[in-house]
Structure 1
Amino acid sequence: MPGIRTAAQAKAWLEQQGKSVQEFAREHNVDPATTYQVLSGRKKGRRGESHKVAVLLGMKIGVIPHEAGSSELPED
């Protein structure tokens, strides 16, 4: 499938943007350790935060559901 990145491509993409894994994690409000684990292949990104990280890095096609505590409803 076009558009899906390998871990090496995701790392290169971050480098192209001049971002560290830490910066990426802060910008997307995800755990840096989980991000490193997805990039190293220790976590596959099947569910939870690792899924979110894999989708954000372009390593997986998927949907990131809104968090249960989030109140991003439009105002009237």
Structure 2
Amino acid sequence: MPGIRTAAQAKAWLEHQGKSVQAFAREHGVDPATTYQVLAGRKKGRRGEAHKVAVLLGMKQGIIVDEPEAENSDPQVAS
């Protein structure tokens, strides 16, 4: 990655691609509200989904680790 984008650069990047924030969020399986919050600077992207959004937008370097789903999380399911 050539450099880290600012929020303004990330917005311009989305606009250059002709994508709305909603479309970007759907494409990457993230919450649109979180995406707007990261772009507005209300969430810093330090952990969780905000981190994932910031990395996908190029606003920070990082690794996206899929959260493991809890096995047998549904008590109704019997083995």
TM-score (norm: length of structure 1): 0.87
Match of 1:42 in 2: 42
Q: Which runs of 5+ in 1 are unaligned?
A: 70-76
Equivalent pairs: percent with the same residue?
84
C-alpha displacement of 1:67: 2.7
In the comparison of the two structures, how many residue pairs are matched?
A: 69
C-alpha displacement of 1:51: 0.0
How large is the RMSD of aligned CA atoms in angstroms?
A: 1.3
Mapped pair 1:16 → 2:16: yes
Match of 2:27 in 1: 27
Match of 2:51 in 1: 51
Deviates more, 1:34-43 or 1:58-67: 58-67
C-alpha displacement of 1:45: 0.1
TM-score (norm: length of structure 2): 0.84
Matched AA of 1:56: L
Q: Which runs of 5+ in 2 are unaligned?
A: 70-79
Q: Which has the larger radius of gyration?
A: 2
